Every structure is written in structure tokens, then in C-alpha cells.
Chain A
């Protein structure tokens, strides 16, 4: 047999039908749904009088518009209330398991999938949400879909898909202290741009990736979409199996042993080729931060922002100048020392226990700078409980940060947690688009370490200066 890539193996395994000149009919093993992108799909089913084909392969959670204020768990507006109620009633009508607001298993969709053990190597996983790429950290083929496709999967458990190309991102070497998984993926976005991987599935390989824990691998795969990729994947290994063993929905006993044997085959064969390869030397990476209005506009934290003249291409220059105007920043200057108003630590990129531990390491024994609002939002109730068991919540609260209930929160600003116009935030989320964290808000994307350092000093700060002292 021809040598195959990890992607090719998972793809081949799920093609139900491939007719010439037609997209493949691809079988979906796990379908995650949430309140925002599903209502119109259920309406479609109802209009046609059809059922959900495999409710047993469908899991629902509420995360985008759910409140995170522990004092007043009130849904902020009537429209959001209707949307949440609709998800619950749709799940009831169609027999789908739902983890509603307040349920102990509730959390951000891309956090609870792995946490409950639904996410497993070799599965095809979809969700009406572009950060579904997160689940690729387990060697699954996981990608975001639109609402029409949500309806397709609900109705047939299948999708029409054209086969994407493959891009290997090879990252060898050791990360220096203070440099994290988030910095790897921000460096990739800066290197290849937000359209750099369009039409491709990324496979992350190399010793730096192998050394990451699952939380770090999820951070990397999560932002594959920010480089334009359809999905990101990492071959499963002992780290993956170690994470999954014993989880609620992971196989048990003899099934587990058989599964691990199968999963071990999910590696790119010697001699298999990718359509493209990009390499990064982990040793040269530094903490990263974005300065513009897309995740590709990033740099090492101690660098200066580009000057407008450094762009040859007229439209790139115009785009850069427009971004700088929105951000209220002067090209050519360093960002270090820039005052910040808000720090957000959370989102499906960086709200897991390792992220919180990293942040707590910086907060420990220190105080949040005056005038800086700091929100720490765990990705799920499980993570919240774990963090509280470790006393991390106390560290955050003693430092003067807000310890919130789980949800997407200020990543997408649909739930009442948002920036005010003109405010600057250092955020561990994944998108710095204009208005993403609130109309007129200005976002610098960075790692949990860099975000925590900004909270302490009140300005953009190289976290290594706090780690060493």
C-alpha cells in the first residue's frame, strides 16, 4: 500500500461514497452543537419532517451567549434567552444529549468534547463553529461547518466534502522558558498569514509538538483556522492516550486496549508526502503578541511594529494603515509598555487547567495593576472545580482578578462581557478582528503568561521579566 499521511488515513476511513467529479460523502462520528449555529438547522429538519439520524452521535452545549458573572447568572437579553431555550427544546424534541447552562458538565464546546472523552483519535468531528479544529490535537479530523451543513449532518450523519490538500508544519527543537504553545501558533499565523493555509489540512509534526501536553496541542490546533486551514491534526501518542484513559466516554477495559492499538496506526507513514511543508525552529521563538486586526498581524513581544513603508504591496499597506488607525497605534513603534485596560484569560484557545496554572504562576503573590479589569474564565465546570481544588481561584482573587463562571465570554462578547469602545485588552483568545471583543474594542492576542504579566504591570510586558524575578 502507498504510504499515507495521518489525514489521508482518517479521510479514507470515512468515505462512504466517492463518485467521479462529485464531492465525497464523508461519515461523521461526532457532531457537537451549540445555541448560535443550530436553530435554523433544526427549523430545516422540522420543515421537511425529518428526524436526527444519530442523536447518539450528537452532543449539545451552551456557551456563546451564556453569562459568566457568578453573582447574577442572568442571561443578558431576551434574544439570547430565546436562543438558549430553543436549543434545549430542540434537543429534547430530537433526543439529543444537552449540557445546558448550570449543568455540571457544561462548558465551551471545544473544551468539553475532549474533557468528557468524546473526542478521540481517528474520529471525524464537526461543529457549526470554526474552532472545531481544536479536536485535531487528538489525531481526529475535526473542522467547522456552516448551519446548512449542521442540518446535513443532523439528517444524514454525513457531509459532502471535497478533499483538502495537506500542509505539514514541522516544529523541531525546544521552547525557551516563557514561550508557550500559544506563541507557536501566533508565530505560524505571523509567518504564513491568515490565508496561508487556505484549502489545506495542517499536520503539526516535530519534537516541539511531541513535547507539548494535550492542553498545549489543543491551543495550537485551535488556531489552525486563523491561518486559514480547514483543520489541524497531531498524531496521537502516549501523551494522547494518557489524557484520554478513564475519561467518561473513552473506551474501557478490553475496548480501550483495542482502541489504543488502532490509534497507534494513526501516524503519517514513512515516505508519505504533503502538498506543502513549513518549518519553524522552536528554539528561536519568543513570546508573541498581535498588534493589528487579524491574527496574522503579530510579532515577537520586544519587536517594533512594522513601518507603513515596509509593505511593497499597495493594498497590504492600506490594510495595515487602516488596522493601525483602528488600533490607535503608531507604526514603527514597539508595543511593549502600551497601556492596557482589560486582560482576558479564557476561550477555547487558553482556558484549560494548564493555562490557568501558568497564569496563576505569574499572579501568585502579586496584585493586578490599578485600573486594569482582569477576567479569568475557565473553559468548563470541570476545569473550574479543578482550579479551585488547587487553590488557583484564591491566587486570582487575592491578586484582584475576577474569577468567573465558564463560557466563551469576552472571546466573542455576546454575553455581556465586552470591551468598551477604545479600550485595549490583552486577550488569550484567538481573534483580534475589529469589534470582536466589543464594538470599538482593541485586542492584543497573547499567551496566558503574557496576559497575566500585562494584568500585573498594566501594560504590554514580556512575561519573562516577571518569571525570572
Chain B
């Protein structure tokens, strides 16, 4: 997994609440057998017009969005299905962090395993960020994982929660399966006790 330490980038504002995984990546794209290449289908039904051309009114298609690594999303982002295709598509497009007031559980867990940082901030901080970015799309935001802070807009400084283990894994680029394997003996003992 790619390491995550500090990220400074402009951001894409997507104010809708309850954006579900069927919007992030519609089910018809789940027939893939690979993790890669889903970036083109991210937010597909909002992003393309009926004839397949890019919808100029959708924020992701605006020139100002290109190259952004931060998505500022509405409340309860990623609800619905457990498909890890959602973070794969977001990462495939180029996002490394998502700022929201809350995330759906499985989406959050899936994101953390793909080097995509869910940044949970208060409604007030969220409002300020959304407003600033809407006003000036070149606004840079910095997300610093070691200090768990979001800074930008001059004076704004907020912290976000993350559990210690996920933080450690992201900072070091540790893959959780390797960690699980280190408990092989305990797992074997557990299995023997139960049978």
C-alpha cells in the first residue's frame, strides 16, 4: 500500500449528502476482475451525458478539478454496498483524501486499506472549507497525517480522528495482511482450542 504522510492539493467540492457507492461506481462496472482502470468510471452516471460525452456541468469535468487529490464530500459519504471498487475508482481518478462530516463504516475501512484517507471534520469546518473552495477553486488544503490536522484558508486549522493502527499502517505503508500473518501461532492455538 502507498504511504500517506502529508498532502497539499486543491480540492473538488461535491456537496451532496449521502452519496452512495452506486453513485461512486455503478454496479454495471463491477464485472471487472482487476482493481485497476476504474478511475474512468468514477461517478459515471453523473459524469457522462447520454451520448457518452463528458457532462460539462459535473464538477469532476471542470478544468479546475483536474489534478486535484482531495474530494470534499457531503455528509455520510460512501453508504450502501461493500464494494471496494468505490475506493479503487476514487484512487484511480487521483484522489488521496476525502473530507466529509461522516463516512459509512465499510467504505471507511475499505478506503484505509487503499491509501485513501477519510478525513472527518466538524460541520463548521466542513462548511468553511466547502465555501472557500467553491469561491476559489485553486484554494490549497493541507492534510497532515502525523499531526492529524487539516490546514489552509490562512487561519483554518482543524484536527481529525483516526485510530492509531490505521494511522500507523498508512504512515508506514504497512499492509494489514502481513500484520495478521504475524499472529499465525495464536490463530492456530485458537483453532485447536475450539475443536
How distant is the Cα of A149 from the Cα of B113 in the complex, in angstroms? 9
Decide yes or no whether A262 CB sits under 8 A from chain B.
no
Task: Report the minimal beta-carbon distance from B139 to chain A, rounded to whole angstroms.
Answer: 20
Decide yes or no whether B51 CB sits under 8 A from chain A.
no
B30 and A439 form a contact (CB under 8 A):
no
Q: Report, as a range, how many residues of chain B touch the other chain.
A: 35 or more
Chain A count of residues within 8 A CB distance of the other chain: 64
B80 and A23 form a contact (CB under 8 A):
no
Decide yes or no whether B83 CB sits under 8 A from chain A.
yes
Which of B59-67, B90-98, B146-154, B184-192 is found at the contact surface with chain A? Answer: B184-192
Q: Contacts A17-B186, A414-B31 given: A195-B79 contact, CB under 8 Å?
A: yes
Which of A32-40, A105-113, A253-261, A459-467 is found at the contact surface with chain B? Answer: A32-40
CB-contacts of A419-441 with B (<8 A):
431, 433-436, 439
Q: Contacts A160-B179, A435-B45 given; 18 further ones with Cβ under 8 A?
A: A16-B187, A16-B190, A22-B165, A25-B187, A65-B31, A77-B31, A83-B32, A83-B33, A130-B80, A148-B84, A148-B110, A148-B177, A156-B184, A296-B18, A431-B22, A433-B20, A435-B26, A439-B28
B113 and A412 form a contact (CB under 8 A):
no
B28 and A147 form a contact (CB under 8 A):
no
Within 8 Å CB of B18, what residues of A? 194-195, 294, 296, 319
Contact of A152 among B17, B177, B190 (CB under 8 A): B177
Decide yes or no whether B118 CB sits under 8 A from chain A.
no
A319 and B17 form a contact (CB under 8 A):
yes
Within 8 Å CB of B135, what residues of A? none
B82 and A436 form a contact (CB under 8 A):
no
Q: Contacts A25-B186, A146-B113, A155-B180 given: A198-B84 contact, CB under 8 Å?
A: no
Contact of B82 among A146, A294, A318, A414 (CB under 8 A): A146
Which residues of A line the B interface, CB within 8 A?
A: 16-17, 21-23, 25, 27, 36-37, 39-40, 43-44, 48, 64-65, 77, 79-80, 82-83, 86, 128-130, 132, 144-149, 151-152, 155-158, 160, 162, 164, 194-195, 198-199, 225, 228, 230, 294, 296, 315-316, 318-319, 322, 412-414, 431, 433-436, 439
Within 8 Å CB of A322, what residues of B? 16
Within 8 Å CB of B20, what residues of A? 294, 431, 433
A156 and B181 form a contact (CB under 8 A):
yes
CB-contacts of B88-112 with A (<8 A):
102, 104-106, 109-110
Which residues of B line the A interface, CB within 8 A?
A: 15-18, 20, 22-23, 26-28, 30-35, 45, 74-76, 79-84, 87, 102, 104-106, 109-110, 113-114, 163-165, 176-177, 179-181, 183-184, 186-187, 190-191
Q: Contacts A156-B187, A439-B26 given: A146-B33 contact, CB under 8 Å?
A: no
How distant is the Cα of A72 from the Cα of B26 in the complex, in angstroms? 26
Mind listing 12 A-B residue pairs with CB under 8 Å?
A48-B177, A86-B33, A128-B82, A144-B82, A146-B109, A156-B177, A195-B18, A228-B76, A228-B105, A319-B18, A414-B31, A431-B20
